A = this chain, B = another copy of it.
Amino acid sequence: MNSRVPAPDNLFDLSAVDPRAEQSLTLVDAEGVKIERIVSSGQASPPGFWYDQDFAEWVLVLAGSACLRLDGEAADRVLKPGDHLFIAARRKHRVEWTDAASATIWLAVHLRR
């Protein structure tokens, strides 16, 4: 989280992004739902790390590309702009890689109850 950086009016605005760290900015936090813009600059999940969240999440890639691994699936999923994925609560997943050459812009919607 970069709480001092305001969410941009346009999601493709990368002027406040430092590529040395992944940046998550909250766009909406209401009614149990959090919508975030995440900008990755080649970051990935650490080796052996799996996200194991108690809430469902929907992700959409807006720019760049990323590779996700869902626990139990035979193959990785490569996501390009416009590709989206619903990840149920407790479905373990990890980011194998994000584009090393250009920023990957994600939209993530967290569905809490």
The interface of chain A, by Cβ under 8 A from chain B, is 9-13, 27-28, 30-33, 35, 55-56, 58, 60, 62, 80-84, 86, 107, 109, 111-113
Contact = CB atoms under 8 A, between A and B. Distances in A.
Give the secondary structure class of A's interface: strand
Given A109-B35, A109-B109, A30 B56 contact: yes
Contacts of A32: 31-32, 111, 113
A11 B82 contact: yes
Task: Count chain B CB atoms within 10 A of each CB in A27, A33, A109 and give the residue with the most.
Answer: A33
**Identical copies in the complex:** 2
Contact of A58 (B35, B56, B81, B82): B35
A103 B83 CA distance: 18
B58 A27 contact: yes
Nearest to A83: B10
